[in-house]
Each structure stands twice: as structure tokens, then as C-alpha cells.
Structure 1
Amino acid sequence: MIRDILVNLAQGTDKDVARDFAASLAASFGAHLTGLTVAYEIDVPPFYMGALPTDFIDAQVLENQAAADKAAQGFTAAATAAGVTHDVRTLTASLGVAASTFADMSRLFDITVVGQPDPDRPGPEEVIAETVLIESGRAVLIVPYVQTKPFTPDRAVVAWDGSRAAARALAEALPLLHRTKDVEIFRVTRHEEDEDTAGQEVARHLARHGVAAKVRRLPVSSGEPIAAAILNEVSDQGADFVVMGGYGHSRLRELVMGGVTREILATMTVPVLMAH
């Protein structure tokens, strides 16, 4: 069951889709909701510090703190309106430290909700989302910046490739799938198969958890992008959310995501539950 939810709070916008979706998710499960708001520190290389006026730095610090406070107030209002128990935590840190701290926090929550980066409004969401996905070890639910609906468990697509990450995502998604009316296991394969035994095994496993699922397999040629096939299936099925593994690794603190994962994160139109 989902009893404890963490959400990263966006700043500079009155419409925080991750916050609102997390509130509806918490209301559906009767879960406690925790929001994290960050007063971002100014990350200036030492050799530039002397060139910046002290009053400019002080003003920026105050502005960032005000943005964090406003996000906290918006969270409190949204959680109260949703009728869920809640608390808000405030962190003062650089983006890198904030992302790592958020990932550490998420290990003690059942699910973490973050917003998809909006290409028209650059912000910390991309770093936050990738860090928590790769470092937390728990389920991460990414909400698209165009999301308008609350949590709606009518239809779900489980993108299954047999990987460790896909298995983690499936296990973490079970509480959501138990609430979902129509579950499809979607397999993208690079060649024809006589029988999709892998998909049927996933359906068997879900059935023993009381989740009925249908299986669909789509063979694609080597030149066709897998991410596009998944997103097309989501659109065709009118799915409300997707479950899939998130692939990536960290090298010299620069996150490098797998191609399918990165493409999904960039072009998703419905919430995606990922685990690594």
C-alpha cells in the first residue's frame, strides 16, 4: 500500500502539476504527503565572487527564499484542499546538493512525485528527476508539465522489456495497478516471435496479485525508436499512466540516461512511474 508520498515543489509558477497530482494521489490512497521546497543557493565560481556586488547576492538570496516560501504556502493550500495530512520541509542548498538530498529522502517514502522538465521554462526539474530516479532505489512518478487530470486509475500500460529496472518498476507499481481497471502489458520486440512467453509470464505474476492484465506485443524494425512505439501505444489505449524501468548511470556526477528513458522523459504526455 501507499501510505507515505514525497513531492518536489516547483517554483516560479502558480500551477505546480506535480504538487497537485501528488495531492490527488495521496487523497486516493489515504496517504500522508510531504513536500520539499528548496531555497537555492547562488552557485558562483570563486573567481567571479569578487566581481559580484554584495547587494546583488543578498537580493538574490532573499528572492530565492521568497520563492521557496511561496511554494510551501501553495503546497499547504493544495494539500489542505485535498483533505490529506501533510508536512512541508525547507532546504537551503545548491542544486546539486538539493538533488542528492531529495534522493536520500525518497528512500523512506513509498513513492516520490516529480515534475517533467518544461522546455519553455528552464528550471531544476531535470536534475531533480534524473537524480532521484537513479539514486533513490524507489519508485519515481514523473508528471508531465501538461498534466491537467488528477490521479485517474482507469487504464495503465506496463512497458516490459524483461530488465532489472522493469522488474523494479512493476513491483513498485503494484499498489497503483490494484486500483487500475484496465492493465496492458506492452512488449516491443525487434523480431517476430511465435509466442510471447515473457508477456504471458508477467500476466501470470500480476494475476496472482489479483491484477488482470492483457498482453500486446509489437515487433518493430531495428530502425524504429522504441520510445515512439511506447508513446503511440499509450495514446492508442488512452492510458492514464505508464509503468516502465528507467535506465541510466552516473559518471563523474553527470547523469547519463538510457536513450529510451531520456526520450520518454522528454516527450511523455501522461504520468510515468519509473524505477531503476
Structure 2
Amino acid sequence: MTVVAMLQGTPETDVETTRSALAMAKMLGRDLTGLCALPDPQAAVMVVTTPESTGLTAAAAANIMDLQKEMLEKAEAAFREGVGAAPGMDCTFVHQVATAEASAASAATLADAIIFPRSAAKSGEPLSIAFDYVMMDARLPLVLGGTELYKPGPVVIGWDGSNGAARALRFHTPLLRAAGEVIIAQNRKDAERDGARPGIEPGSLEDWLKRKGIKASVSPIEGEVSAALLALAKGSGATMLVAGAYGHSRIGERLFGGTSKRLLNASDAPALALAR
């Protein structure tokens, strides 16, 4: 098992992602993989059959290959810079010839944690499609980097008894255990708006965490959920927030807003460990 840092070929972002992933890998006692996935250049060029177009197709493929080579060099250099001297750890840079979404989903299946840069939550960014695919379509767990570099500290759990929140907890149990302290946050009125859910009582979750060897406490919150979670994280010094993603439809969240959208778009937020 390993911690995976998703890289995109932009130096500053890749260094930050690597350093955050490295901190998590050290905390978990796991190795680190820097993953940069780029599609086959030939697949990115439309196949044509006319003799006149053959040269143009070959030139386009060559240009894509040159661009990919430059991106890979930048991604690997950023990974090496981010890793620095990490004695006792196996830190490996990997290039996969595939789409970023396919590679990320494959890595997320068995990784202890897969870390995306904060920018991936924004449409149009290099890894936004991969981020969206892993979370929404593959329904696999991921960690979105915080607005600051990750460092070990308490973890806040946004608990509403939903399937997404439960999946986020179960998938990221190793991170919770390694963090050493967990704070269960719940706005009871908001949690009950969709009807009673099994296991919604924070005390039930507290007992479950303690059976896993995780120290936990309960902190009720009030008002708008995302703002309350972010305030609790800041006040407690938490550097990670675990939550279920998109309890309502994606379209509904985009049109009317929602907890997930506000957490993803927050200008000051810890790392987010998410699952849908």
C-alpha cells in the first residue's frame, strides 16, 4: 500500500501536492508514489486517411509528444524537489500512458490515500476531470489538498449519518488512526432534514472509532454546516476534514449551492478527505 500524489506538470502545484502527500505518507508509515498520467499522443490526434493530411497528423502527434515530455520533466523535477531527503522511505515517480481519470481511479482503488491539488476542485484545471471522475463516477475516496501544506494534527469529521460520510470514514480509517485525535462535528437540525438515518447519533460513531483505537470527542455545531465545520477546524488546529461529498445531486449543488460546494470552494480550508 502507498500514498499517491497526483501530479499535473505545473511545478509549484506539484511541489505542494508532493509535500502534503509526503507528510501523510510519513504519518502512516507508507511509501510515496508521484503519479503523472498522460494519454497516448496518437490517440489524441484524429486519424485521417488522405495523403495530404498524413504529414499534418504526424506533426500534430510530434508536437503533443514534445509537450508531454516537457510536462513529465517538470512533474518529476517537482516531485524530487518536494520529496527532498526522505530517509527510510521509498519515493517513486511514475508515468502512466493513460488518461488522468483512469490512472487516478486505478490508484485510488487500493492506495492508503490519493492526494489531489486544491486546484483540482475547480473546473478547467488540469486535474479537474480526474478529480470529478474519481469522486463522482468511480465513487472512490480521495484527499483534496488544503489551502496550506498538510501537517499532522487533529481531524474533524462532518457527521450526518449519510452513506457518503460513512464511506469517507471507512476508507480513511488509517489516516484517522494515525492522526491520533478526532473531533465529531454535527449540526443535528441539518442532519435530520432528510429524515432519520441509521447510525446518525454521534455517540454511535464515537463508540465505533474507539473500537478502532481512535480517540474521539463530540462537538455540536450550529448554523450553516460548511462555515461551522471550517470554523471548528480552524479553532481546533485541525489540518484535515473528513466528509461525505454531494449528499444531493451534482446539478442541485451547482445551481443552489451546498456543503460540498462551499467546502471545495473555500479560500481557507484544511485538507478534505472525501467520498460519495
Partner of 1:208: 211
Superposed, 1:1-276 pairs within 5 Å as 3-16=1-14, 17-39=16-38, 41=41, 55=59, 58-79=62-83, 81-83=85-87, 84-93=89-98, 97-117=99-119, 123-144=125-146, 146-148=147-149, 150-152=150-152, 154-190=153-189, 198-220=201-223, 225-247=224-246, 259-267=258-266, 269-276=269-276
The CA RMSD over aligned residues, in Å, is 3.5
In structure 1, C-alpha distance between the alignment counterparts of 2:60 and 2:200, rounded to whole Å:
63
Alpha-carbon distance between aligned partners in 2 of 1:23 and 1:142, rounded to the nearest angstrom: 14
Q: Is the 8 A contact 1:245 1:274 kept in 2?
A: yes
Distance in 2 separating the partners of 1:32 and 1:242: 23
1:134 and 1:119 map into 2 onto residues whose CA distance is 12
1: CA distance, partners of 2:13 / 2:123: 13
Q: Which has the higher strand share?
A: 1
Instruction: Tell me the distance in 2 between the aligned counterparts of 1:36 and 1:140.
Output: 14
Question: Partners of 1:250 and 1:67 in 2: how far apart?
Answer: 35
Q: In structure 1, what is the Cα distance between the partners aligned to 2:138 and 2:18? A: 19
**1:270 & 1:243 partners in 2: Cα distance?**
10
* Secondary structure class of the residue paired with 2:172: helix
CA distance in 2, matches of 1:259, 1:26: 31
- Name the CA distance, whole Å, in 2 between partners of 1:178 and 1:78: 25
TM-score by length of 2: 0.77
Aligned length: 256
Identity across matched positions, percent: 23
Question: How far apart are residue 38 of structure 1 and its match?
Answer: 2.8
Structure number having the greater helix percentage: 2
Change (3 A) 1:31 1:120: closer
Indicate if the aligned counterparts of 1:244 and 1:275 stay in contact, CA closer than 8 A: yes
Secondary structure of the corresponding residue to residue 3 of structure 2: strand
- Unaligned ranges ≥5, structure 2: 193-198
Residue 144 of structure 2 aligns with an amino acid whose one-letter code is I
